[in-house]
Amino acid sequence: MSYLGNEGYGIVMASIGVILTVTRVFDGLIDPFLALMIDKVNTKFGKLRLFMTIGWVIRSIAMYMLFVWCSGRGFGVVYFVILYSIYIIGSSIFDIAGNMIKPVMTNDPKQRPMIEVWGTVYSYLIPTILTLVTTIVLLPRFGNQYTTEMLSTTALIYILISLVFTILCFLGISDADKPENFIGTAATSEENNVSVRDMFALFKRNKPFQMYIISSVSAKLGQQTASQAIITTMLFGILIGNIQLGSILSAVSILPAIVFSIVGAKYSGKFGNKATVVTWTVISIVISVISVIYMAIIDTRLISQSRGYMIVFFALLILLNGAKMCVTVANGAMRSDVIDYELDASGKFVPAVITATYNFIDQFITSLGSTIAAAGVSVIGYATVAPQPTDELNPSIKWMTLFLYYGVPVLGWLVGLVAMKYYKLSKEEMVEVQRRIADKKEAILEQEGADS
């Protein structure tokens, strides 16, 4: 979106950062209301596939209009904001329903981390493959420049691919997307209804949810900043001097990270999600600090020219991606724990509301990622144009890139470690939560049987 706004709609980089921040806050604001709607609907065909279909159609049409119909044709900031807002609405509907899949599929504390593994592998591997297609196949055809034509071609490819994977998702969740999987443990349907008041009460009384949000969102803000296209372009295109090589290294490093994710899931199954987040967050911080020191003392252009320098950089990249993968796996499973904790405490099964409440805060905070990135590059001379892989390297670019790519995530992880000190859902506590939920559901079924 940063490159699209600059190239396709003539918006300066500093303004794009503000626009992306405001629209991401808008995303968070609408999530709770969409979630209330989704949690209230429970058709005989389920709900996940219905809302995911609605969301996919809206956002795909908006993406086509953003990247193809209107881009490069003289439309300005107003059109960009309107179309991007429509895209956000569709994405929110799709993502809220999609995020309900994991807690609905199983409540087994050993299975949840493994489900998170494959979800995380998918969310890393597929974008990595598409990044390779973009940077190695498409980008060279347009002179290694993010032009409007290059972005339009990429968008069309992505829309078709997303359709294929959405269909595959529907096939996979057909058994879980049933009405009986969306009921709570409250005795009456009236008690099971969810309101806006429930959302505020949820955040106010549920301390594990509060600590989970602080830990997860702070870590995500750092990674959101580091993953901005303008930052990865600066790291691999300008610092290393070969954006294609950078994309290949990033892609190859994902494969070992998959192994790490399985290790992280096994660790979560044995010691719990809280212990996993703490352990692998500390490891991520240590590796990031070592990476900054290494990049600071060498000529980074040698990474693409010398096998020895490349091996060290690649090894650090593998270890960092692997550690972050373990944190991501545990964080995803932790949200399912929070959902079950709320079910035990209030009797209401509200995965969409918890997801949307999380998303509201997440979108509001992590929206600053694009602002931080845009502000950072503006300080070093990219106020009106975006960084391109062909730009010359200078010290200000090097230090700003290292700060945004490594330093900001470290700050987020430090905040998360403090939050985990007050998060009480250990492995032992979750065993008790699941036992109480099972007892309550069994009592309701027995009562219904006696009444009939």
Q: Is the pLDDT of residue 1 over 90?
A: no
Q: Is the pLDDT of residue 408 over 50?
A: yes
Q: Quick one: pLDDT band at residue 433, thresholds 50, 70, 90?
A: confident
Please tell me which of 95-109, 181-195, 284-298, 367-381 the model is most confident about, judged by mean pLDDT.
Answer: 284-298
pLDDT of 450 reads: 66
pLDDT of 159 reads: 95
Q: Is the pLDDT of residue 352 over 60?
A: yes
| Mean pLDDT across 324-338 | 85
Q: Is the dihedral of CA 317, 322, 323, 327 positive or negative?
A: positive
Q: Is the pLDDT of residue 179 over 60?
A: yes
Q: How many other CB atoms are there within 10 angstroms of residue 296's CB atom?
A: 11
pLDDT of 131 reads: 82
- Of all residues in the chain, what percent carry a pLDDT higher than 70? 92
Please tell me which of 21-30, 38-47, 211-220, 436-445 the model is most confident about, judged by mean pLDDT.
Answer: 211-220
| Mean pLDDT across 298-316 | 90
Contact 298, 309 (CB under 8 A): yes
pLDDT of 187 reads: 37
Q: Where are the domains of the chain?
A: 2-185+195-451
Q: How many other CB atoms are there within 10 angstroms of residue 120's CB atom?
A: 26
Q: Quick one: pLDDT band at residue 183, thresholds 50, 70, 90?
A: low
Angle at which helices 2-9 and 368-379 cross, to 10°? 60
Q: Is the pLDDT of residue 383 over 80?
A: no
Kindly report the CATH class assigned to 2-185+195-451.
Answer: mainly alpha
| Mean pLDDT across 377-404 | 87
The residue written with tokens 């980074």 in the block is 300
Q: Is the pLDDT of residue 188 over 60?
A: no
Could you read off the pLDDT of 218-265 as tens digits, one per residue? 988 888 888 888 888 899 888 988 887 777 777 777 778 778 878 888
Could you read off the pLDDT of 82-96 as tens digits, one per residue? 999 999 999 989 988
Encoded tokens for 280: 């692998």
pLDDT of 156 reads: 94
Q: Is the pLDDT of residue 198 over 70?
A: no
